[in-house]
Structure 1
Amino acid sequence: MNGRAVKTIFDHEMARFWRTPWESLASPVVSTVLYFVVFGAAIGGRIPSVEGVSYGAFIVPGLIMLTVLQQSIANASFGIFFPKFAGTMYEILAAPMSFIEVVAGYVGAAALKSIIIAVVIHLTAMVFVDLPMAHPVWALGFLTLTAVSFSLFGFLMGLWAKDWQQLQFIPLMVVTPLVFLGGAFYSASMLPPFWQGVAHLNPVLYLISGFRWAYFGMADVPVGLSLAAVTVFLALGLTAVWAIFRTGWRLRA
């Protein structure tokens, strides 16, 4: 393992993160406050609690997961797409490092950025609601696995995209709707039986449910299924990245 190569890519990506504090940190805080104002005040007035948890606190894991998925994909996809756009991808491919080191640098930085933002959102939410955490170790572990898995998907999307429009397509048209329909702001048990079945076909439901269990000890699906889902995401991402670097698809075009 070429640790210096990994550190170089990692430091470069993190430096870009710290150079733009407004976009990187302040923007998620503002978005969280707006969600609390809109959902907490408007809907929370009609739904005081969900299974004994105040509605304001109930939506926090969903808010964090929404942001983590979006930020993981966005940061990793931009990080690898920009060398393609600028024509410097060949320098990365010609450098004395394996694809594991390239992926570790870009994906590691993207995942860490998402985790930092998640912590900031959690601290912001504590200003508005009493926010217990029943299983903090599980929360951190599950958050890390999710951030790494979707940073891998973002990395893949950055390799796949041919232009900036394609880079924005999946986060806006696929990921965000799946999160909103995956129980980010409600429990699947509140839905009619038919729609509960439909909701359980949404893979994001398992991520949000597992993360919410870490906070309140309540879940829409068994915790084991949530862990299995994020493990499958991670395995699929790793397999796809290995196949791309093995074949050179979209790398040398």
Structure 2
Amino acid sequence: MNIHSIRAIYKFEMARTWRTLMQSVASPVISTSLYFVVFGSAIGSRMVEIDGVSYGAFIIPGLIMLSLMTQSISNASFGIYMPTFSGTIYEVLSAPVSYVEIVIGYVGAAATKSTILGLLILLTARLFVDYDVQHPLLMISFLLLTAVTFSLFGFVIGVWADTFEKLQIIPLMIITPLTFLGGSFYSIDMLPPVWQTVTLFNPVVYLISGFRYSFFGVADVHIGVSLGMTLFFLTLCMGLVWWIFKTGYKLKS
């Protein structure tokens, strides 16, 4: 394992974050804070508790997951797309660096950024609502698993995309709607039985449910199922990345 190559890619990607703090960190935190103000403080004060949890606190895991998934995809996809777009990816591919080291460098930086952002949003939420984390180790585990999984997914999107518009299609048209429909702002037990069944086909439900369990000990889906689905999606993304480098899909053409 070439640690120097991993460190070089990782530091380069992280340096881009510090140069664009307003866009990379401040903007998502401020946007999420507005959700806490509107839904947590204004609307939440007029709503009853859900599963014994105040509404303002109930939406915290869903909002963190929304930012975590979108930022993981955005950071990873843009990180690999720009070298591909500019042609500098061929210098990386021709260097004595293995595919595993390339992925660890790019995905590790993207996951680090989104994890830091998730923790910042968690701290910011304390300014608006009171909450407790019953299972902190489980919470950190879900945070890291989700960040790595969706960073891998973003890496795949970045390789697949050949225009800047394509980088935004899946996050905006698929991930964000699935997150809003995945129980971010409500419990799926509040839905009619038919829609509860339909909702279970939404993979984001399992991520939000497991993450919410780590906070409050309540969940729409059993924690074991949530963890299993997260690991399944992680394995699927790893398989896609392996296939990309094995076939050279859009990297060697």
Partner of 2:168: 168
Which structure 2 residues correspond to residues 37-52 of structure 1 after superposition, within 5 A? Answer: 37-52=37-52
Provide the aligned length of Structure 1 versus Structure 2: 253
Matched-pair identity in %: 58
TM-superposed CA distance for 1:47, in Å, is: 1.9
2:213 corresponding residue in structure 1: 213
Amino acid at match of 1:104: I
**Structure 1 residue 131 displacement after superposition:** 1.3
Could you tell me how far 1:76 is from its partner in structure 2?
0.2
Whole-angstrom distance in 2 between the partners of 1:234 and 1:17: 25
In the TM superposition, what whole-angstrom CA distance separates every residue of 1:125-171 from its partner, at most 9, and x where no partner exists?
A: 00111110000000001110110000000000000001101111000
Matched, 1:224 2:224: yes
Moved more, 109-118 or 21-30: 21-30
> How much has 1:38 moved relative to structure 2?
2.0
Give, in whole Å, the separation in 1 of the partners of 2:67 and 2:147: 10
- Kindly report which structure 2 residues correspond to 1:236-251, keeping only aligned pairs within 5 A, or say none: 236-251=236-251
**How many angstroms does 1:26 deviate by?**
1.2
Paired with 2:15 and 2:187, the residues of 1 have a C-alpha distance of: 38
Q: How does 1:58-97 map to 2 (within 5 A)?
A: 58-97=58-97
Deviation readout 1:74-117 (Å, 9 max, x if unpaired): 00000000001111111011010111000000000000101000
Code of the aligned partner of 1:124: T
State how far apart, in whole Å, the 2-side matches of 1:25 and 1:56 are.
23
Deviation beyond 6 Å, 4+ runs, structure 1: none
Pairs within 5 Å for 1:138-157: 138-157=138-157
**What amino acid is aligned across from residue 246 of structure 2 in structure 1?**
R
Q: Which residue of 1 aligns with 2:198?
A: 198
Shift of 1:23: 1.3
**TM-fit CA distance, 1:41:** 4.0
- TM-score w.r.t. structure 1 length? 0.98
Please, which runs of 5 or more residues in structure 1 have no aligned partner?
Answer: none
Structure 2 distance, partners of 1:42, 1:205, is 25
**Structure 2 segments unaligned to the other structure (5+ residues):** none
Does residue 8 of structure 1 match 2:8? yes
In 2, the alpha carbon distance for the partners of 1:30 and 1:49 equals 26
**Counterpart in 1 of 2:136?**
136
Which whole-Å CA distance do the structure 1 matches of 2:25 and 2:154 have between them?
19
C-alpha deviations, 1:205-226, integer Å up to 9, x for none? 0000000000000000000011
1-structure distance, mates of 2:242, 2:55: 42
Q: Report how far residue 62 of structure 1 moved.
A: 0.3
Other structure's SS at 1:128 match: coil
Distance 2:148 2:78 in 1: 15
TM-score (ref. length: structure 2): 0.98
d(CA) in 2 for partners of 1:196, 1:43? 24
CA shift for structure 1 position 48: 2.8
Cα deviation for residue 9 of structure 1 reads: 0.3
Amino acid at match of 2:82: F
